[in-house]
Structure 1
Amino acid sequence: MAAARSEKIGYGLGDMSSSMFWKIFSYYLPFFYSNIFGLSLEHAAVLLLVTKLWDAVSDPVMGLIADRTTSRWGRYRPYLLWVAVPFAVAGILTFTTPTWSYSAKLIWAYATYLLMMTVYTAINVPYGAMLGVVTDDSRERTVFSSYRMFFAYGGSFLALAIFEPLCDLFTPDTGDMDAAQADGWQAAMIVVGTICALLFLLCFRLTRERVAPVESPSAGGQSILSDMKSLAGNGPWWILLGVAVAALLFNSIRGGAAAYYFKDFIGEDNLLGGSMILSCGAFLAIGEIANMLGVVLAVPISLRIGKRMTYIWAMAVSGLLSIVFFFMPATVAGCWAMVVLQIVISAAAGITFPLLWSMYADVADYSELKHGHGSTGLIFSSSSMAQKFGGAFGSALILWLLASYGYDTSGAAVQNGEAIFGLRMLMSWLPAAGCALAVLLVAIYPLNETRISEIGEKLALRRAANK
């Protein structure tokens, strides 16, 4: 029986919360650390890489913990209640700039960002795993996933639309502009963090766990070893892991470079007509709306040609048009062309993400059928792990490349031609490379619609026998 729409909306609110933080951290944190907090490009790059790699390693651990959680609310859902407030607090601390020495500030940055990523894992791994237990129907999971991604992009749009205005609103008009900007960014995160905590609490209130996977033999060390061996031998999981890393490289590089691109290549005086200015926030927000359109298209298209072929075509379009983006000039006509490209690229990318999450649920079923016990949390933690790896390398790559191209982080700097070329590459050819890798990997993904249907039928019989 199909779940109520209110539950699908409730499930979507969880990723709305996550995506608000994820997009702000992906798109603005490199800029914050280098231009507001005051770290060097090299130190900021290493910080983003180390903290996110730690976070990626912690994801499977959280998956194992969630798989072994028992409560009156289920295995995964209670973490939405327990971690919602710490999630908000950690985000606020990350965007807090203490007035300390450089070395002390660097330590603070490591401590708060490690805390943020650990808390992010503690709530998002269980949240993602819920897709495997809210329903056992593959098509219904795609619908749940589409609601999830629609609200995720809605949250991203909201965050990107309000974050810069909030920073400006809360930046006091004082003589010390550096301190004023730091205060403004912290206050903006207080607002965003409060919204995110409330959304996760609503997600907890509106959702339920219905599917009980086949129980692991025990909660001891042998069971953990068995789960890890099952994961290591899961071929489709390895393929989706690579796909997720490639897709996040595409998104994190393109999104994370945008603030630099608009500051130093587009500038502040590129009018679209009348008094309309193409700002970074507007550009990214337009992309989130287009992402939402793509999510709406994901279900009907995938029902016609299958999840795998839909993913391949959508990601190929994103990659090819990203290359076209390289040739756009910083003129009025060029800016309009960038808007059009942003809409189409983002709509195509939006199609892929609900499909990827639904495919993870299929992989969890494949693992349960093959190995005889469920490890849904561990399977879904790999998706979060892949996000962290892709985001870590993407964010670090942005800063390393900017440093190699001689990018000047001082406020009034005029960038040289080499630095501008690097910014254009970061918005085009490098994201396109991530798309190409994702397409190649999905092309060899073995779980087509027929295979998924067979797995679902066999699992239904096994679960009925175990009741």
Structure 2
Amino acid sequence: MGNSYGESTAVQESEKRPFGMRDIIGYFFGDFGCNLSYSVVTYYLTIFYVSYIGIEATHFAAIMILTRVFDAINDPMVGYFSDRIKPIKGNRYKPFILVGGPLLALISAFMYFDTSGMSYGVKLAVCAISYVAWDFAYTLVNIPYGTLNSVITDSSEGRTKLSTARSIGAGVAKLPVAIIPLIVYQDKLVDGKVVSQFQGQLMFPVMLGLGVVALISFLLLYNNVEERVKPDDKRGEKQPSIFTTLRTLFSNRALIAQIIAGTAQTIFIYSASQLHQMTLQVKYNDGGLFSWFTLIEIAPLAIGVLMITPLVRKFGKRKVIIVPLIGTLVIYISMLLFPVDNSTTWIILMAIANMFTFGFQLLSWAMISDAIDYNEWKQGFRSDGSLYSSYIFCRKIGTAISSASVPLLIAYAAPSLELNNAATWTASNVNAIYNMSITFPLVGFGLVFIAYLLVFNITTEDYHAMQKDLGHTIDNG
């Protein structure tokens, strides 16, 4: 089934330079810059505010949930307006990055301003205000950035390369982030015993430095990608209201699969990193090992980038995601049933499990572009920003749930645990953290597996018919 207008609602703009390596490198720097901030929020925000600043877990959880009220307006509106603003010098999405990039770099640092010596009310206010400001700045950059994947090129193979570059950018961003544990975890002598403790006061200067790097990355993104896939002249007449646009989401199984996978990723997979960090600190007594653990998350990207294009050409994106995940699930189940007492063995098993996720890590963003194309094919209109923002909104709901649930679950499963008090690192508390650190990614990748196996519904035949009807470049999807 083609769209109701008989032709694509987007055209390839011929006066732009051809799509090529410059776009791929530029797109790499987008997620590199974003993840210099996002990864740190994922890994350290809860530890910083709950363990170091001293905010109660229940209060921190409430802040994370309440900020989603702001997101309920913020995300859809940024996506909606990015679809409808008048292009500036032929660009509809890039200008948002030029405004949001500096804001994100600055606010990311001030989130970690040391308020530990201030009143409890000030601590709560700084936490809430800085997180809302960070959330807005991140949305202002990330939604237009993600939408660019659909408008830089209409080729599925090109979009796969962009998605791969984005994933590599996110992975490479973990190289500077991996240095943070070596700085903020320091050995202290407590009651005659050397223990690893988190030094939260060092986070602010670290984030100022990363903010400068992020700002340079956003400028490299802006100056090296081109928006080529433009709407046709009657696009404005065909654009429905925001409510109609969002209603189509519920009939788009491909996008629903992406939402399930993306939300599972933010609730379970990303939040597991905090638990992994705690496991290394309290079970293996070396929080600094998290630097090495962070690096293993890059390994599947290094391996996958060499294989991803020929594998996708032969099997299609969906199978390349699904099949390797079986290995990941088997390893996590084994680690849960047979606890690992040696830190080196634990890191090696985690690394192998992570290797099998290369398909999901490298292709998930390209699948969103396919879901947006699918919506145009079935519904007859194109709303890249609105649909992408719906996906990002659900991911951020997942981030809020994980930020709220992790400290609450720790308080429930290990009620006496204090990360800066080694006397509370009892066997029961340590076992609770270890089990949660395995269960979270097991559930997360299990949901990703189900989403692509049972919910995602674009077959190879549908994909080729869709690309032909939309007038896009035909290649293997």
Q: What is aligned with 2:359?
A: 351
**Structure 1: unaligned runs, 5 residues or longer:** 170-179, 269-276, 463-467
Tell me by how many angstroms 1:31 deviates.
Answer: 0.8
Q: What is aligned with 1:172?
A: none
* Letter paired with 2:319: M
Q: What is the Cα-based RMSD across aligned positions, in Å?
A: 2.5
Q: 1:184 to 1:209 in 2, by over 3 A?
A: same
Give the distance between the partners of 1:40 and 1:392, measured in 2 at CA.
16
Is 1:362 aligned to 2:370, yes or no? yes
CA contact (8 A) 2:260 2:448 kept: yes
* Letter paired with 1:449: T
Is 1:448 aligned to 2:465, yes or no? no
> 1:50 is matched with which residue: 66, 73, 93?
66
Deviations 1:373-410 (CA, angstroms, capped at 9, x unpaired): 21011122233223212222223222111100214226
CA contact (8 A) 1:164 1:281 kept: yes
Is 1:25 aligned to 2:41, yes or no? yes
Q: 1:363 to 1:24 in 2, by over 3 A?
A: same
**1:4-403 paired onto structure 2 within 5 Å:** 4-51=20-67, 54-55=70-71, 58-69=74-85, 70-98=87-115, 99-160=117-178, 162-167=179-184, 181-214=199-232, 216-218=235-237, 223-268=241-286, 279-326=289-336, 331=341, 334-403=342-411
Deviations 1:239-298 (CA, angstroms, capped at 9, x unpaired): 221121123333223212122111111113xxxxxxxx9712221222233444334433
* Letter paired with 1:89: L
Deviations 1:200-227 (CA, angstroms, capped at 9, x unpaired): 111001111000135544599x532332
Give the distance between the partners of 1:396 and 1:422, measured in 2 at CA.
18
CA contact (8 A) 2:155 2:472 kept: no
CA contact (8 A) 2:182 2:291 kept: no
Give the distance between the partners of 1:255 and 1:318, measured in 2 at CA.
16
Give the distance between the partners of 2:91 and 2:292, measured in 1 at CA.
40
* Letter paired with 2:298: E
Q: What is aligned with 1:409?
A: 418
Q: 1:336 to 1:167 in 2, by over 3 A?
A: closer
SS at match of 1:326: helix
Tell me by how many angstroms 1:113 deviates.
Answer: 0.4
**Structure 2: unaligned runs, 5 residues or longer:** 1-16, 187-197
Q: 1:95 to 1:68 in 2, by over 3 A?
A: same
Q: What is aligned with 1:459?
A: 470
Share of identical aligned residues, percent?
A: 23
Q: 1:22 to 1:410 in 2, by over 3 A?
A: closer
CA contact (8 A) 1:294 1:346 kept: no
Q: What is aligned with 1:177?
A: none
Q: 1:458 to 1:31 in 2, by over 3 A?
A: same
Q: 1:294 to 1:111 in 2, by over 3 A?
A: same
SS at match of 2:254: helix
CA contact (8 A) 1:59 1:382 kept: yes
CA contact (8 A) 1:369 1:455 kept: yes
Deviations 1:136-192 (CA, angstroms, capped at 9, x unpaired): 1112111111111112101123322x22345479xxxxxxxxxx9444111011001
Give the distance between the partners of 1:14 and 1:397, measured in 2 at CA.
29
Tell me by how many angstroms 1:92 deviates.
Answer: 1.1
- Alignment size in residue pairs: 440
Give the distance between the partners of 2:201 and 2:50, measured in 1 at CA.
16
* Letter paired with 2:420: G
Q: What is aligned with 2:192?
A: none
> 2:440 is matched with which residue: 415, 423, 430?
430
Q: 1:282 to 1:239 in 2, by over 3 A?
A: same
CA contact (8 A) 2:263 2:398 kept: yes
Give the distance between the partners of 1:44 and 1:461, measured in 2 at CA.
47
Give the distance between the partners of 1:416 and 1:11, measured in 2 at CA.
46
Tell me by how many angstroms 1:447 deviates.
Answer: 0.7
- Does 54-63 or 304-313 show the bigger shift? 54-63
Give the distance between the partners of 1:266 and 1:423, measured in 2 at CA.
12
- Does 190-199 or 342-351 show the bigger shift? 342-351
- Does 199-208 or 431-440 show the bigger shift? 431-440
* Letter paired with 1:195: V
